[in-house]
Amino acid sequence: MHKHWLYILFFFCVTVITAQTPEKDIEKPKDSLESSVLLKQIGNGFFPTKVWNFDLRYLVKFNQYEGFRTGLGGVTNDGFSKTFRIDSYGVYGFKDHRFKYKIGGGFRLNPETNTWINVSHVDDLMETGSSNFLTDGRFFSFFEPRLLNIDLFHKHITSAISVEHEINPKLITETEIAVSNIRPTYDYDYILDNTSYGAFETTTAKISLQWNPFSTYEIVDGETKNIVDGYPKFTLQYSKSFRNVLNADFNFSKLDFRTIHKINYNKESYTIGTFSAGLAHGDTPLTHLYHAYPNNITKETILQRFSVAGINSFETMYFNEFFSDRFATLVVKHYVKPFHISKYFNPQLVLVSRYAYGNMNNISRHQNVSFETLKHGYTESGFEINKLLLGFGLSFTYRYGAYHLPREEDNIALKFTFNITL
């Protein structure tokens, strides 16, 4: 498996480095400008054409359930229409031999407030215990390290309608109503009122707010552009599942919060802190509860667990080890000024500490799975040395405190890091 993702990483590195290498003879400044715009688009995860922007997220991925996953997808751009858009994809998993897809689109109601009504129908997988904010929109990374080792997914067929609205450039909202048919890919039953649910339906409403009070924005060519990234940033989301509405099985609610703060000491040294919290109340199946973004595989030795570190994931926490219906995490990363050894070799030391707390009511309702809670508090600390070679670096993390394991080497995570900016 490791050989496969190393090939993928090498391909992306070669692609990015090739794209960043300037041509020796540049005759027209316009060509340079267009190349810069193209690189920015690729950095955001799109390859643009005249009317369609291909979404690079769907080209190739790998996880433990699907194996290699590949396909095509994207969204129409202003060359197609400034009022309508189509947002769809199709992918295939070579291990589960299953086709997944999204058919979606949107209609722009008001350009001044960037108000869109979107509809979609999705047949795909979702990681159990993950929690996403609607206002995060899309996330793109050339390499998603956690994805390689995730094995706990649930299938979902979801039809949704949503409204995006910009109250002002610093405060954006998104509201969604969705109906889902959910089938865990693993052996799991949720017991409620003496009934066992191995599969279930949900009808949910969500509202999400993203507030960036200290950022600076400007209107450029009719679009809002972020000029200065200010901190702290705040995200809040409320979700409600309604039982017996459109055949839904469960009645529960969730409240999720996240804030990110950055302290700059100079142009090259800074500290970033990310605080996240979530609370699920009611009859909530495991699929909709919380993990703390673990990123450690269950293998015997340190070298067998050697993989790639994430951004805010817990590197010593094993997959499927903990679940919670209420949790809080704090990740603090201090970036030391890079070591300017030469023009092309500037490694950077990052000091990292992560903390997590969580608990769960009604654990006995979750059948055929075993896990712990985080009621005693989870702690790990370590460091990264980034940008040693072609965006790669190394990280070392140590697990200590209440969940320190008896065998010493099981508390240690040694991994690659991967950081590259276009």
| Burial of 3: CB neighbours in 10 Å, binned 0-12, 13-18, 19+ | exposed
At residue 143, the 3 state secondary structure works out as coil
Distance separating alpha carbons of residues 246 and 319, to the nearest angstrom = 34
Location of structure tokens 């140590």: 398
Instruction: List per-residue pLDDT tens for the chain, 422 residues long.
Output: 444 444 334 433 433 333 333 444 444 455 555 666 666 666 667 888 999 999 888 999 999 899 999 999 999 999 999 999 999 999 999 999 999 999 999 999 999 899 999 999 999 999 999 988 999 875 555 556 788 888 899 999 999 999 999 999 999 999 999 999 999 999 999 999 999 999 999 999 999 999 999 999 887 776 777 888 899 999 999 999 999 999 999 999 999 999 999 999 998 999 999 999 999 999 999 999 999 899 999 888 888 888 888 888 999 999 999 999 999 999 999 999 999 999 889 999 999 999 999 999 999 999 999 999 999 999 999 999 999 988 889 999 999 999 999 999 999 999 989 876 65
Distance separating alpha carbons of residues 44 and 22, to the nearest angstrom = 20
For residues 307 and 416, is the Cβ–Cβ distance under 8 A?
Answer: yes
Condensed to tens digits (0 to 9), the pLDDT of residues 190-205 reads: 999 999 999 999 999 9
111-418 maps to which CATH number?
Answer: 2.40.160
Distance separating alpha carbons of residues 12 and 27, to the nearest angstrom = 28
Distance separating alpha carbons of residues 8 and 1, to the nearest angstrom = 11
Check residue 13 and give its pLDDT.
40
